[in-house]
Amino acid sequence: MFRKILVANRAEIAIRIMRACRELGIATVAVHSSADRDAPHVRFAEEAVDIGQAAPRESYLNISNVIQAAKQTGAEAIHPGYGFLSENAEFAEAVAAAGLTFIGPPASAIRAMGDKAESKRTMRAAGVPTVPGAENLSGETEFIEAAERIGYPVLVKAAAGGGGKGMRVVRSAREMPEALESARRESQNAFGDDRLLLEKYIENAHHIEIQVFGDRHGHLVHLFERECSVQRRHQKIIEESPSPLLTPEIRERMGAAAVAAARAVGYFNAGTVEFIFDPRTADFYFLEMNTRLQVEHPVTEAVTGLDLAQWQIRVAAGEPFPYRQADLTQRGHAIECRLYAEDPAGGFLPSTGRILQFLEPRGPGIRVDSGIVTGSEVTRFYDPLLAKIIVYAEDRPAAIRRMRAALKETVLHGVTSNLDFLQAILARPEFAEGKIHTRWVETEFDWQPPEPPLEALLAAVLAGSALENRNPKIEHSVEPDPFSPWKSGSGFRIG
């Protein structure tokens, strides 16, 4: 087993991985930009290294700086988390070339699945169903001709990258020129690659993904599905497991397809195969494979009882994964809500500022993976994800009730967030019935933010006043109970 691991990431996922290391008795190294020098993940690790300026390309995306930090601290392995360098094949190769272990899949698998056009060809060869489409198109005329063969509506999609960037729905030939221009521009800015492909756009589709896991000894299984259809701008907001739509027969077929997809590229460690599911026909199609740990992995951990972050580390160290497919079952129901610093009423634009107060929900069956504390700065440089609230219960209705209670208990002042928006979605009968599709938020959910009650405004003012008077030495101390009033210069402490 490794003695020391460098976590090449920030915020909640960095802390999540460090917790897994701590339980395994492994020392951790945090890396941080100049903007993150006082971030919670920096204080959580045993060591920390400044790797550059606030802009990600100068710090978290700087391969040489990350590897140098690992070498100077004596780390034996690097965990990339998700985002940043996690799906960068060159980074995985550079880690290996430096004599370190990359905690993730082989670089060849990352490269094979990183190109959307190439991965679709690989999946077709492996017998995995793919969305009807066309690749290697160049000019506007070729795209229009292909769209007419496929049938409108179609989806213009970046051939590289993911996360909803470089995607446009096109419903007629008249819309194609503008869609191509904006998708190319966004893809080039996000991934440095402006290649596009075309896919049939399935109306009212559901987004269902299968968690796969394999070891270095050729053993590969799936860990069931996650329903991820609650989205905005092609990005997920709420995830759950099991899916309320899948029958045991469809679940088995989809799981087998995911394992076949992973095996086709020689995969090991944690990965996720994403599918588009058409509830009208019960057909599903390969969308893409994320060659890393997913944001929503906690719901899989809840229903399977496995610690995926720990198993990532263990199989990277050479341990066999001991569970066969027949050993694995789903128990109960889990839901995850992503708490973002963004304005749902203003086009989901990110919000920046200082967190004046953040209180996490507590209680049976509630887990919070957060990257912020009271006093944290939310900047424009990074993803606005603040925390993930995860609940587990005996069945789906109980999990929905528990999540609604957990969100009601959550307190966040200082930045605009989607907290009320999440509550409103969970209260809708369409969510209870499992009928929300990937475009539901944008096309059918009419929502207006509620007026904040007077007590909430007063609490924000008091929290800001207390923050100005807090004692940093107390705030940064190692306190076993993060909710202790002695943890910060709160109103209790000032009094």
The answer to whether residues 51 and 75 touch, using CB atoms and an 8 Å cutoff, is no
Delimit the CATH 3.30.1490.20 region(s) of the chain. 132-200
In this predicted model, what pLDDT tens digit does every residue of 445-490 receive, in sequence order?
A: 989 888 877 667 677 777 677 676 665 544 444 444 555 544 444 4
- According to DSSP, the residues that pair with 155 across neighbouring strands are 169, 199
**Tokens at 53, concatenated:** 């300026």
Peptide bond into 153 cis (omega under 30): yes
253 to 29, 61, 247, 258: CA distances (angstroms): 41, 38, 10, 9
- pLDDT > 90 fraction of the chain, expressed in percent and rounded: 82
Q: Vertex 110, ends 100 and 213: CA angle to 5°?
A: 85
CATH of 206-443, one of 3.30.470.20, 3.40.190.10, 3.30.930.10, 3.40.50.1100: 3.30.470.20
In this predicted model, what pLDDT tens digit does every residue of 100-109 receive, in sequence order?
A: 999 999 999 9
CA distance linking residue 35 with residue 381, whole number of Å: 9
Average pLDDT over residues 1-8: 98
CA distance linking residue 315 with residue 80, whole number of Å: 15
* Residue 22 pLDDT > 60: yes
Q: In b/e form, how buried is each residue of 291-324, taking b as 16+ CB within 10 angstroms?
A: bbbbbbbbbbbbbbebbbbbbbbbbbbeeebeee
CA distance linking residue 10 with residue 378, whole number of Å: 13
In this predicted model, what pLDDT tens digit does every residue of 409-427 receive, in sequence order?
A: 999 999 999 999 999 999 9
Q: Within 13 Å and on the Cβ side, how many CA atoms surround 123?
A: 27
Write a three-state SS string for the chain.
CCCEEEECCCHHHHHHHHHHHHHCCCEEEEEECHHHCCCHHHHHCCEEEECCCCCHHHCCCCHHHHHHHHHHHCCCEEECCCCCCCCCHHHHHHHHHCCCEECCCCHHHHHHHHEHHHHHHHHHHCCCCECCEECCCCCHHHHHHHHHHHCCCEEEEECECCCCCCEEEECCHHHHHHHHHHHHHHHHHHHCCCCEEEEECCCCCEEEEEEEEECCCCCEEEEEEEEEEEEECCEEEEEEECCCCCCHHHHHHHHHHHHHHHHHCCCCEEEEEEEEEECCCCEEEEEEEECCCCCCHHHHHHHHCCCHHHHHHHHHCCCCCCCCHHHCCCCCEEEEEEEECEEHHHCCEECCEECCEEECCCCCCEEEEECCCCCCEECCCCCCEEEEEEEEECCHHHHHHHHHHHHHHCEEECCCCCHHHHHHHHHCHHHHCCCCCCCHHHHCCCCCCCCCCHHHHHHHHHHHHHHHCCCHHHHCCCCCCCCCHHHCCCHHHHC
In this predicted model, what pLDDT tens digit does every residue of 353-375 receive, in sequence order?
A: 999 999 999 999 999 999 999 99
Provide the pLDDT for residue 471.
Answer: 52
Delimit the CATH 3.30.470.20 region(s) of the chain. 206-443
- According to DSSP, the residues that pair with 321 across neighbouring strands are none
In this predicted model, what pLDDT tens digit does every residue of 118-175 receive, in sequence order?
A: 898 999 999 999 988 998 898 999 999 999 999 999 999 998 866 678 899 999 999 9
CA distance linking residue 15 with residue 41, whole number of Å: 5
In this predicted model, what pLDDT tens digit does every residue of 74-113 receive, in sequence order?
A: 999 999 999 999 999 999 999 999 999 999 999 999 999 9
Provide the pLDDT for residue 481.
Answer: 52
Provide the pLDDT for residue 62.
Answer: 97
Per DSSP bridges, beta strands 366-370 and 349-350 are: unpaired
Delimit the CATH 3.40.50.20 region(s) of the chain. 4-86
CATH class of 132-200: alpha beta
CA distance linking residue 110 with residue 58, whole number of Å: 23
Could you tell me which CATH number the domain at 4-86 has? Answer: 3.40.50.20
Amino acid at position 492, single letter = F
Q: Supply φ then ψ for residue 141, to 5 degrees.
A: -60, -45
In this predicted model, what pLDDT tens digit does every residue of 288-335 receive, in sequence order?
A: 999 999 999 999 999 999 999 999 999 999 999 999 999 999 999 999
The answer to whether residues 383 and 339 touch, using CB atoms and an 8 Å cutoff, is no
196's CB contacts (< 8 A; 6+ apart) are 137, 143, 156, 157, 158, 159, 166, 180, 183, 184, 187
Provide the pLDDT for residue 128.
Answer: 96
CA distance linking residue 284 with residue 207, whole number of Å: 9
| Residues designated as active site | 292
